[in-house]
Chain A
Amino acid sequence: MTTGTTMAHGGALAFEPGYAGPAEALRDLRPAGDAVDFELEHHADTASIAQLGFWIYLMSDCLLFAGLFATYSVLHARTAGGPQPQSLFDLRYVLAETGFLLVSSFTCGLATLAMGRRSRGATLGWLAVTFVLGLAFLGMEVHEFAHMIADGAGPGRSAFLSSFFTLVATHGLHVTCGLTWMAIMMVLVVKKGFTPSTESRLSCLSLFWHFLDIIWVGVFSLVYLFGVS
């Protein structure tokens, strides 16, 4: 963002006293005066403030997950005579889930790179791939939950399972929100193309998606790997 702001400012700086010479000659070449500069500066500032604001939201979301991780850490051994993590979790299944989410994080990054190149087709393509992979992850998670509940290992069975379902389902709910947002953004990019507004929102979406992958690293390490090891 710094580069952009500096460029937008450049014109104004050049007119300061003591910076005569080339600046005077350049004045006539400038396209439309300070109004354009102000507009650019305004967009750049709004975009970076939006990014920072969204980042602060992500950090507070991180604290929400910290609370759920803490709850799970405290309760994971309280199985109340019910099923244990070792008998419930299939690591190969979880590895496939993890793979889907990790690849989707990568393709989401490729979508933002395509946006940087102003390639609408590539952006939409990578967003669609990300969406499908995210949907596959969510489908696997819902299938796992349904399977567990059918086997009598639902959230009401023990404190361990209550905290497990709360933690993993909260992550799943975030993924669902992310997918909805992604679908809306794809429609917006088709309809409006790249405006400062859609770009800023796509950047926030990309941050959100990468953030969810980071939370998943915590989930598979603490819940599944610790649970089975």
Chain B
Amino acid sequence: MSAANEAVVSQAPHGAVHRAAHGGGHAAAHGSRKSYVIGFLLAIALTVVPFGLVMTHSSIGTPLLIAVFALAQIGVHAVYFLHVDRSEAQRWNLTALVFTAIVVCIILGGSIWIMHNLYVNMMPGMMQGSIG
């Protein structure tokens, strides 16, 4: 911090120092109006397009497209609304987020994989066969 900045902080009355300290933090933590507007517009687009695809019954790889749009929208929300970035202040938030994302993938992927295998290998027909 330069001497000039130092002087500004030092000369300000209590309330102003307080505000400067908190205001600085909030500017970093809350983003700007511009970032909210960009995020909002992107989110609208990423919501309306998959709804439109399904409602108009266009069947060109729809399930995959829905997943891509959902992941993109989650990313947009995280960056523009939750303000996740790679700054020093956000490091632990990002660490926790990445860890959570990995666990979520394991829970979702693992459950679907295991239950699909179970279903394929223990078809209702086979069950009835063994009982009957």
Interface residues of A (CB under 8 A from B): 1-8, 10-11, 13-14, 21-23, 26, 29-32, 36, 40, 43-44, 47-48, 51-52, 55-56, 59, 62-63, 66-67, 69-71, 73-74, 91-92, 94-95, 98-99, 102, 105-106, 109-110, 112-113, 115-116, 118, 196, 199, 203, 206-207, 210-211, 213-214, 217-218, 220-222, 225-226, 228-229
* Contact B32–A31 (Cβ < 8 Å): no
Residues in B neighbouring A62, C-beta threshold 8 A: 100, 104
* Contact B77–A214 (Cβ < 8 Å): yes
* Contact B27–A63 (Cβ < 8 Å): no
21 interchain pairs (CB within 8 A)? A10-B5, A14-B6, A31-B17, A32-B14, A40-B17, A44-B22, A55-B96, A70-B112, A73-B108, A74-B115, A98-B51, A106-B36, A106-B40, A116-B23, A196-B22, A199-B26, A217-B47, A222-B70, A225-B50, A229-B54, A229-B66
* Contact B10–A44 (Cβ < 8 Å): no
* Contact A2–B100 (Cβ < 8 Å): no
Chain A: which residue is nearest B87 at the CB level? A2
* Contact B103–A213 (Cβ < 8 Å): no
Residues in A neighbouring B43, C-beta threshold 8 A: 102, 105
* Contact B107–A63 (Cβ < 8 Å): yes
Which residues of B61-105 have CB atoms within 8 Å of chain A's CB atoms? Answer: 62-63, 66-67, 69-70, 73-74, 77-78, 81-82, 87-89, 92-93, 96-97, 99-100, 103-104
Chain A: which residue is nearest B62 at the CB level? A229
Chain B: which residue is nearest A47 at the CB level? B25
A217-B73 contact in complex given A118-B19, A226-B63, C-beta closer than 8 Å: yes
Partner of B30, one of A7, A30, A113, A118: A113
* Contact B26–A40 (Cβ < 8 Å): no
* Contact A116–B27 (Cβ < 8 Å): yes
Residues in A neighbouring B63, C-beta threshold 8 A: 226, 229
Partner of B93, one of A3, A55, A106, A110: A55
CB distance from B93 to the nearest CB of A (A): 5
Interface residues of B (CB under 8 A from A): 1, 3, 5-7, 9-14, 17-33, 36, 39-40, 43-44, 47-48, 50-51, 53-55, 59, 62-63, 66-67, 69-70, 73-74, 77-78, 81-82, 87-89, 92-93, 96-97, 99-100, 103-104, 107-108, 110-112, 115
Which of A7, A106, A214 counts the most chain B CB atoms within 10 A? A7
Residues in A neighbouring B7, C-beta threshold 8 A: 22, 26, 29
Residues in B neighbouring A94, C-beta threshold 8 A: 51
* Contact B29–A203 (Cβ < 8 Å): yes
Complexed CA–CA distance, A219 and B124 (Å): 29
Residues in B neighbouring A36, C-beta threshold 8 A: 14, 17
Partner of B47, one of A44, A102, A106, A116: A102
